[in-house]
Amino acid sequence: MTARLNVVTGATGLLGSHLAEQLVACGERVRALVRPSSDTTFLRQLGVELAVGDLTEPNSLRRAIEGADVVYHCAARVGDWGPWRVFQREIIDATANLLDACRTAGVGRVLHVSSIIAYGHPHIRPEKFTEDESLGQNLWVWDYYCQAKVRAEELCRQYPGDLTIVRPSWIYGPRDRTSLPRVLTALMAGRVGILGKGDNLLNIVYAGDVAEGAIRAANHPRAKGQAYNLASEGEIRQQDFLDLLSDMVGRPRIRWHFPYWMAFGGGFLSELVGRIIRLRRPPHMTRYAVALIGRSTRFSIAKARTQLDWQPRVGVREGLQRTLDWYNTTQQAGGSSNDGGENPSLALPAGSGRPSA
């Protein structure tokens, strides 16, 4: 094991857990900032050092990052639902607190995990979107996640030390408890249709690939002060993705189509009703979820490929197989996962996770 110390926030989450796993596999020292209530089983199995604290409590951060060579900031509020104060506290304030602590401690490099959502909603055009794209384009009403991510990046730009930003696209993989479970739950309930023609390319990328790209970005001298898209440039169409996923979980392939504009409008109405009745959980349909599946957006990874020698390696079929295998293992364990965190609220049929003949 090397003397280098890597501190990871959000290590019980999807990307953070893959980062910790890869860093340990490389023989690096890893310390994870975890809340007192976090399930740290998976991290303890890896041999990760645990520092109990909270990004919203600045005094708890000094001890967590003491002696750190690299700090990977993966923790953030993820999703498109909730009041602004939650996004302010868990993305903007959390980032500000961590950067203050890193500046005081003289951390060697900070790797900030942003998102392609920071670009907002650029108008579709033939060429791919590069890192030079303006942030926060064409914001929607209640677009709190995007606004908070933009503000967090602005704070990072003001940081006086060495800092690199990565912007992943739609991440999935083992220990995914947010995005793919949402799709699977809707699929199992028969609430999924093909949006539009279904020929749009998805920017879905495996968590392990993003973790590898983040590690490369955090250690490359040329990456200081830079931002990188860590995404798929469009490997699979919406129709093919839903066909593959349906086959893997033993559901009939989806044949009915729904106009994109109608689904988007339905998402807005669902959000409006949800806001009025103060719904705590996300509505079944939101504009963000509709755009995630139905909108064709392609982000260039030329900069990451050229400067970091990075590109996605795990294909969608293999990545989905690994993810569903993990869900099934969790389910067979009686709802107690060895990988830490909350269990995915899915009820997959027996034998799912293997493509049908």
CB 315 within 8 A of CB 235: yes
* Cβ 31 vs Cβ 5: under 8 Å: yes
- Would you state the pLDDT for residue 352? 52
Whole-number pLDDT of residue 334: 57
Assigned token pair, 309:
């020698």
Residue 122 to residue 203: CA distance in whole angstroms: 15
Angle at 196 between CA 192 and CA 198, to 5 degrees: 75
Residue 82 phi, psi (nearest 5): 135, 165
State the sign of the Cα–Cα–Cα–Cα dihedral 202, 131, 114, 33. positive
Q: Which residues contact 225 (CB under 8 A, 6 or more apart)?
A: 162, 163, 164
At 6, is the secondary structure helix, strand, or coil? strand
State the average pLDDT for the chain. 90
Contact 148, 77 (CB under 8 A): yes
Instruction: Quote the tokens at residue 317.
Output: 């079929």
pTM (two decimals): 0.91
**What is residue 186's predicted lDDT score, i.e. its pLDDT?**
86
Tokens of 95: 């980032």
The CATH number of the domain covering residues in 5-176+203-233+298-314: 3.40.50.720
Residues 248-288: tens digit of each pLDDT: 999 999 999 999 999 999 999 999 999 999 998 888 889 99
pLDDT in tens, the chain (357 residues): 567 899 999 999 999 999 999 999 999 999 999 999 999 999 999 999 999 999 999 999 999 999 999 999 999 888 889 999 999 999 999 999 999 999 999 999 999 999 999 999 998 888 899 999 999 999 999 999 999 999 999 999 999 999 999 999 999 999 998 888 888 988 988 888 999 999 999 999 999 999 999 999 999 999 999 999 999 988 899 999 999 999 999 999 999 999 999 999 999 999 999 999 999 888 888 999 899 899 887 899 999 999 999 999 999 999 999 999 999 887 776 554 434 333 444 545 444 554 433
- Ordered by start, the domain boundaries in the chain are 5-176+203-233+298-314
Q: Centre a 10 Å sphere on the Cβ of residue 22 and count the other Cβ atoms it contains.
A: 16
| Closest-CA residue to 98 (of 87, 110, 86) | 110
For 212-235, the pLDDT digits (tens) are 999 999 999 999 999 999 999 888
What's residue 191's pLDDT? Answer: 86
> Per residue in 296-316, pLDDT tens?
878 999 999 999 999 999 999
Q: Count the neighbouring beta carbons within 10 Å of the beta carbon of residue 190.
A: 10
* The amino acid at 323: T
